[in-house]
Amino acid sequence: MRRKASLILLALAVCCAALSPLLRWYAFPRLAKVPPGQYQTMVLEAKDATLIDYGTMRARKVPRLTVVQTLKGNVEASEQIEKSAGRDVVVWDGLSYIVGPDGKFVSQIPERYIFDAHSQEPVHATGESVDGDRVSREGIEFKWPFLTEKRDYEYFDARARTTRPIHYRGTETFRGLRVYRFEQTVPWTRVPFPKKLPVAGITSASLAETGTRMWYTTVRTFLVDPTTGAPVYGEEKHKEEMRGGTLLGGKEKVTAFAGDVRMRADFIASTVDQVTSQRILVLLLTSYLPWGLLVLGALLLALALWLEARARRPAEPARGEAAEPRPVTA
């Protein structure tokens, strides 16, 4: 009976030892993915910012500027692209909507971001755009890959429509989470005017006809949870200028916007809570279950060997039974 039990335990130990690497290196890359129907809202603020008044074409100080950023998963579009791409695809319809201190509209930039659900690499398909202009992204945007590494990544800047390195700057603790700091600098770059502007009759095309051009630079910082690849905090030192042309009344340049844009405190708390719950699921597949199966396999192997050793021992006489007499010689 003991030998039979030891064989069963040995089989279970081998099974656990085999499942451990399979779960980590085979199941995890296929199971971990961004859901196609995910919806996210983020609110950022720039206090004591500078904003242009399109009526007078002069820069003025405002106490606060609010940026509402939404990412909505388009399930129908992702299913259509998956048929031709042959892989799991996520389509995010994003919108950065900016309002002034009085709650009135300032500008907006819509975009469609199409990427691989597992690796977060961009997928080039019809509909990939920024503010109505077709783009072909290179590098990540919004989210880092699962199990983010301590290295530089290529990051797409939607305002400039360019891709530049975003550099790993170190590891730190933020709200109880171990996070990686990433920083990217976009130098002064000529960018198009937003298609939709707050003053009736003024369009990006009419501004371009005056010879005035928009220039932009930013320094952005992200704190990223390395397990899920999700940013838990972000900020940008953002600046835009209008330069040259007849629109500025002889001025060389006018600041269109300048401010330090940061995540609002209440959204930081909710984001940290959400990422904390998501990282547990990733850790189950990458750490908790694989290591747990290895430990369980080792324990089962030890128990099987112990039972086998017990089965090989000669049986001891039961209590109350006399031992067989030994022959005595002279």
Single out the residue of 295, 296, 287 nearest to residue 32, CA to CA: 287
> How does pLDDT run across 163-213, given as a tens digit for each residue?
999 999 999 999 999 999 999 999 999 999 998 888 877 778 888 888 889
Q: How far apart are CA 36 and CA 42, in angstroms?
A: 18
Q: What is the pLDDT of residue 323?
A: 53
How many Å from the N-terminal Cα to the C-terminal Cα in the chain?
Answer: 43
How buried is 150 (Cβ within 10 angstroms: 0-12 exposed, 13-18 middle, 19+ buried)? exposed
| pLDDT tens sequence for the chain (330 residues) | 566 777 788 888 889 888 888 988 888 988 899 999 989 999 999 999 999 887 788 889 999 999 999 999 999 999 999 988 889 999 999 999 999 888 889 989 999 999 999 999 999 999 999 999 999 999 999 999 999 999 999 999 999 999 999 999 999 999 999 999 999 999 999 999 998 888 877 778 888 888 889 999 999 999 999 999 999 999 999 999 999 888 877 788 999 999 999 999 999 999 999 999 999 999 999 999 999 998 998 898 888 888 777 777 665 555 555 555 566 564
- What Å distances lie between residue 215 and 226, 238, 320, CA to CA? 33, 11, 100
> How does pLDDT run across 70-98, given as a tens digit for each residue?
999 999 999 999 988 889 999 999 999 99
Contact between residue 119 and residue 145 where contact means Cβ atoms under 8 Å apart: yes
The model carries a pTM of: 0.88
The token pair that represents 200 in the structure block: 């009736």
Q: What is the pLDDT of residue 318?
A: 54
Q: What is the pLDDT of residue 123?
A: 94
Q: How far apart are CA 52 and CA 49, in angstroms?
A: 10
The three-class DSSP label of residue 28 is helix
Q: What is the pLDDT of residue 202?
A: 79
How buried is 149 (Cβ within 10 angstroms: 0-12 exposed, 13-18 middle, 19+ buried)? exposed
